[in-house]
């Protein structure tokens, strides 16, 4: 009888498994699951500015950043539970936009 048949029988079933068998099952299971890849949208550290850095760099007020985010002009990304701005997005802002 295999596990599928035990499951289909229902009821209260107790199964005893040796630790080595459990480890082997874990190795097989993790080998079968593809490893998660890093999302391309997730920026690397060093490619992000903080709000304070943007304020100093662009010479704008924090309220301007809030307004730009609301309008979709310069939208921060959530990174580590904090808002950061992509360097590439900031570089696209021209001097006339400040």
Cα distances from 59 to residues 18, 51, 52, 64, 67, in angstroms, run: 65, 11, 10, 10, 15
Q: Are residues 56 and 22 in the same domain?
A: no
Q: Are residues 61 and 89 in the same domain?
A: yes
Q: What is the largest CA-CA distance in the chain?
A: 74
Domains contained in the chain, number: 2
Q: What confidence tens digit (pLDDT) does each residue in 84-97 have?
A: 998 888 888 866 55
> Which CATH number covers residue 63?
1.10.1660.10
Q: What confidence tens digit (pLDDT) does each residue in 36-75 have?
A: 654 444 455 568 899 999 998 888 999 999 999 999 999 9
Q: Check: pTM over 0.85? Answer yes or no.
A: no
Is residue 85, in this structure, part of any structural domain at all? yes
| pLDDT reported for residue 62 | 93
CA distance 98 to 93: 8
Is residue 71, in this structure, part of any structural domain at all? yes
Q: Are residues 52 and 93 in the same domain?
A: yes
Q: Which domain holds residue 65?
A: 48-97
Q: Are residues 60 and 85 in the same domain?
A: yes
Which residue in 88, 53, 39, 90 sits closest to 69, CA to CA?
90
């Amino acid at each position: 009888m295999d596990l599928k048949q035990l499951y289909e029988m229902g009821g209260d079933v107790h199964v005893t498994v040796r630790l080595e068998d459990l480890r082997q099952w874990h190795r097989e299971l993790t080998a079968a699951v593809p490893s998660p890849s890093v999302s391309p949208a997730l920026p690397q550290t060093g490619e992000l500015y903080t709000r304070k850095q943007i304020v100093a760099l662009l010479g704008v007020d924090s309220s301007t950043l809030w307004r730009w985010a609301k309008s979709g002009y310069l939208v921060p990304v959530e990174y580590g539970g904090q808002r950061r701005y992509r360097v590439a997005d900031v570089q696209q802002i021209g001097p006339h936009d400040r």
